[in-house]
Amino acid sequence: MSDWKTAPEIDEAILNTLVSAVGAEAFSAMKVQFIEDLKSLHLAYQAASDAQNESAARETAHALKGAASNIGLARLGALAASLEHGQVENASELEPVFSSALNRLNEVA
């Protein structure tokens, strides 16, 4: 697994493909739902982590990895993958990486 810190924040190719496939207007509308889903997964991971429920935290990290990766948030997806694999020493980085990723996503289309 590659180091999440070296992953690009945004995979422009994935974003461009999505925007090209559905159009800028539709992507902007979809983006709202993507962001809500990502926020929900982030909160679920935090809750599982706070409850020291390792299994639920890993499952939620897996879902967060997939959701982030599907929309081109490469660094967030890679960090979530590290959390999925039990590298909880990276958990303190989730909030700043998550916030930065959503800010960048909001700038697109």
Domain boundaries, the chain: 24-107
pLDDT at 108: 80
Lowest model confidence (mean pLDDT) among 2-6, 7-11, 48-52, 53-57: 2-6
Region of 73 please: left (phi>0), alpha (psi -120 to 50) or beta. Answer: beta
Give the mean pLDDT of 41-58: 97
Q: Record the pTM.
A: 0.93
pLDDT at 107: 87
Under the banding of pLDDT at 50, 70 and 90, the label for residue 1 is: very low
Look at residue 100 and tell me whether its pLDDT is greater than 60: yes
| Mean pLDDT, rounded, of the chain | 94
